[in-house]
Amino acid sequence: MPDLIWRSEISALRMATLASSQESPELHTGMSRLKSSVQNVKGEAERSAIATALEQCGWNRKAAARLLQVSYRSLLYKIEHYHMSPPESAAGGPRRARTVASVVEMNCSRELESASKSGSVR
C-alpha cells in the first residue's frame, strides 16, 4: 500500500513539473497575483505586530524591539517603511519618530562633538 502512495506522489510531482515547464501566461499571471497577495498579507501582519508591540510598550521603541526580538535599527526602518507614528497621547504629546537617517545624523554629530573636545578635529 505505501508503494502505491509513493508512486502516486511521484506521478503528481511529474505532472506539476511538466505543467511548470510549459508555463502558460495565465499560470504566470496567477502566480504573480498569488505572490503579491502573500506579500500584502505578510506586510499587514508585520505592521500589525509592530503596532501591537509599540502600543504595549507605550511607544518605547527599544522595548518594542526587544519584545519583537529584532534590532532597534530594524524596528526604526520598519516604522519608517510603514509610515507609523505615535498617537497624540503617547509619551505626553506628539513626538517625532526617529528615522534611521536621524539616528545616524545624531550619532555622527556626537562623534564630531567628542572629537572636537579631545582636539582631534580642527
Amino acid at site 26: E
At residue 19, the pLDDT reads: 61
What pLDDT, in 10s, does the model give residues 52-93?
A: 999 999 999 999 999 999 999 999 999 999 999 998 865 554
Q: Are 86 and 50 in contact (CB under 8 A)?
A: no
Domain ranges (residues) in the chain: 33-106
pTM: 0.53
CATH classification code of 33-106: 1.10.10
What pLDDT, in 10s, does the model give residues 9-53?
A: 777 767 776 666 556 677 778 788 888 898 999 999 999 999 999
> Who contacts 10 (Cβ-Cβ below 8 Å, separation ≥6)?
none
Distances (CA, A) of 112 to 40, 105, 107, 116: 42, 11, 9, 6
Sort residue 69 into left (φ over 0), alpha (ψ -120 to 50) or beta: left
Task: Identify which has the larger pLDDT, 63 or 1.
Answer: 63
